Structure 1
Amino acid sequence: MENFTWNSDTLQVEGLKVTQVSVYPVFFFFLLSYILINLANIGILVVIFIDKNLHQPMYLLFCNMPVNDIVGNSIMLPRLLSDILRPPSERLISYYECVLQAFSTHMYATTSHTILMIMAFDRYVAICNPLRYAAIMTNNIVVKLTVSAWGTAFVLVGILLGLTIRLNRCRTVITNPFCDNASLFKLSCESVFINNIYGLTFTVVLLSSSIGSIVLTYAKITVVCVTSKSKSLNSKALKTCSTHLMSYMIMFFCGMLIVILHRFPQLSDYRKMCTILFHIVPGSLNPVIYGVQSKEIQTFLSKLIQSRKPMLVS
């Protein structure tokens, strides 16, 4: 199937190389991870929706993260689970389904950065301009920040995939556990110079903007906390910023590990596993981190549990 079919509508996904003994342990690990991601993220969305005390800009902006985790993993993981149970020769996918999966994969990665960037802005306003916070972070601004986070990602990823779709294909094997842009343009025998230039520019701009916004906002927050010498302000900053920074560091290091492993072709199997963990780890940990650190969420859950106890006793 490798080099003789031009613009074939059916592609073969290489998938994970799993031994016969490991098939079911790996399958159930990913299945349980997918169930955990959905339960945890849907649960925290329901909590924020029900409790009016959580209808604050910080939590409304945070809602973008569980939505992104649910959508990103729901398009990638179910397909991966079905492929694990199939022999390599039967791991077939249509070209347009592959493009959709690649688009969702890159949307997930890009919005993971843009969402954390707008959340960093919210933390900056809350700590550095607390008296003007309510006037600045209105519902209208929250909507605009959310649209900008998703809209920017949509445009950038749309151009990325658009440059790839224009290419003719002479190969049919996706050398990855799931479809992404690099796997798609590697199917072409044409020049992919423009794709590489745009992909590199896209990555540099996204990472520099992401890292720059985090460093800048946290530097200003640190200066405000040090100069104010207010214990209450420092406590608020530590509580609200630690969750955001922890989520960012988990996402950043998972992504950097993939980039590093790209430099070592002999470790391609580890890189493939890391690309999957890039979806699973943040999606599993983000709701737990915010649930544990947020006093408001803890208060709501404790009230909910206490209200259930009399019903259980009776």
Structure 2
Amino acid sequence: MLISNHSGATTFTLLGIPGLEAQHLWLSIPFSTMFVAILMGNCSILFLIVTEPSLQTPMYFLLALLMVSDLASTLAVLPRLLWLFWFDAHEISTKGCLVQMFFIHCVSVVRSALLVAMAFDRYVAVCEPLRYNTILNYTVAGQLALASLAKGVILILPMLLLLQRLTFCRTIIAHTYCDHMAVVKMACAHTKVNRLYGVFVFIMVLGLDLVLIGISYALILHAVLRLSSRDATLKTLNTCSAHFFVILISYVPALFSFLTHRLGHLIPPHAHILLANLYLLTPSLFNPIIYGIKMKEIRYKMAKCLCRRDTLAINPGHKEGSE
């Protein structure tokens, strides 16, 4: 680490992936491929939800918001990372660093809260099917969305305010983006409050949200086990499978990323940084794939759009109404 002669740093230097600096150009290939795949996958699901009237329901409204949060998370990380890899653009202003940190962590909190809202949706669909349209209408879905956004802002804004009171005497951040703990380590003063608040946010997000999701699925499982038909049980569980896989992809990497910050001395730096990037990008990459495969409505509409496109390519004068 380099030590600055002044206490108030105006710029930080993002090192990238420690130990793999010489391979940055090669590493940009999988990351740029991931970037294109994330944009195509999430935008495709969003396009279907917006254009298909049958998909314009509260459940798909929440799914669309999840896709938007995945895109926001990706756009907060990958363009800056690729710019660093391609052009060795390591410098970032202190304000720019704080803005990037806010968006990355705020979107992560919002995405987690949306997964809780979607767990509530699955609970109502399974346990209160006759009252589903009454309990989970667009008004309630909108309120859940606003609550998710509010939770992100309320939890992450104090994190930035606590950082702004610090002075920074180290300027090289061993990371590809401005992560909270990576920036905290640059401070000259005691950072116990910042670290404790980071743990508090972790508990409020990963801890509380997982408890709420667990309660929803415990009630769902209780309702499913009372079904007399095995086929009905499997069919009901299948309606929750997409959301369940998304939960695993979202929370397992997040847990490992949090632990590597606390056990960093036991893990190689490059492994920690790669894991931190995968924690943010893996859900964005796999969520559209999971929902595209597991939800038959999306699968059917996607196939219908592809068939329509192929038909128009073969016969430009063809119209659906002429069939």
Q: Secondary structure at the match of 2:268?
A: helix
8 Å CA contact retained: 1:16, 1:84:
no
8 Å CA contact retained: 1:156, 1:202:
yes
CA distance in 1, matches of 2:311, 2:107: 42
8 Å CA contact retained: 1:72, 1:108:
yes
Question: Partner of 2:183 in structure 1?
Answer: 184
For residue 195 of structure 1, report the CA deviation from its aligned partner: 1.2
**Per-residue CA distance 1:51-97 (angstroms, 9 max, x = gap):** 1111122111111111111111112111111112345xx51111110
Deviates more, 1:44-53 or 1:177-186: 177-186
For residue 147 of structure 1, report the CA deviation from its aligned partner: 0.6
CA distance in 2, matches of 1:261, 1:105: 18
Distance 1:116 1:81, change over 3 A: same
CA distance in 2, matches of 1:238, 1:300: 22
CA distance in 2, matches of 1:113, 1:203: 11
CA distance in 2, matches of 1:204, 1:309: 49
For residue 238 of structure 1, report the CA deviation from its aligned partner: 1.9
1:62-211 to 2 correspondence within 5 Å? 62-87=63-88, 91-211=90-210
Runs of 4 or more, structure 1, over 3 Å off, are 230-233
For normalisation by structure 2, the TM-score amounts to 0.91
Q: Secondary structure at the match of 1:228?
A: coil
- Residue 4 (structure 1) aligned with residue 5 (structure 2): yes
- Residue 228 (structure 1) aligned with residue 227 (structure 2): yes
CA distance in 1, matches of 2:300, 2:206: 36
CA distance in 1, matches of 2:14, 2:8: 16
Q: Secondary structure at the match of 1:29?
A: helix
CA distance in 1, matches of 2:228, 2:280: 39
Q: Secondary structure at the match of 2:16?
A: coil
Deviates more, 1:209-218 or 1:299-308: 299-308
**Per-residue CA distance 1:208-267 (angstroms, 9 max, x = gap):** 211111211111101101113245652442222110010000111111222333314242
* Structure 2 unaligned blocks of 5 or more: 316-323
Question: Partner of 2:320 in structure 1?
Answer: none
**Per-residue CA distance 1:11-52 (angstroms, 9 max, x = gap):** 1111113253x3333111111111111111011001000111
Deviates more, 1:51-60 or 1:200-209: 200-209
For residue 170 of structure 1, report the CA deviation from its aligned partner: 2.0
CA distance in 2, matches of 1:187, 1:309: 55
CA distance in 2, matches of 1:286, 1:246: 9
1:275-314 to 2 correspondence within 5 Å? 275-314=276-315
8 Å CA contact retained: 1:5, 1:171:
no
Question: Partner of 1:37 in structure 2?
Answer: 38
RMSD across aligned positions (CA): 1.7
CA distance in 1, matches of 2:73, 2:130: 37
Question: Partner of 1:28 in structure 2?
Answer: 29
* Structure 1 unaligned blocks of 5 or more: none
Residue identity over aligned pairs, in percent, reads: 27
8 Å CA contact retained: 1:14, 1:176:
yes
CA distance in 2, matches of 1:205, 1:306: 45
8 Å CA contact retained: 1:117, 1:213:
yes
Deviates more, 1:152-161 or 1:304-313: 304-313
Distance 1:221 1:81, change over 3 A: same
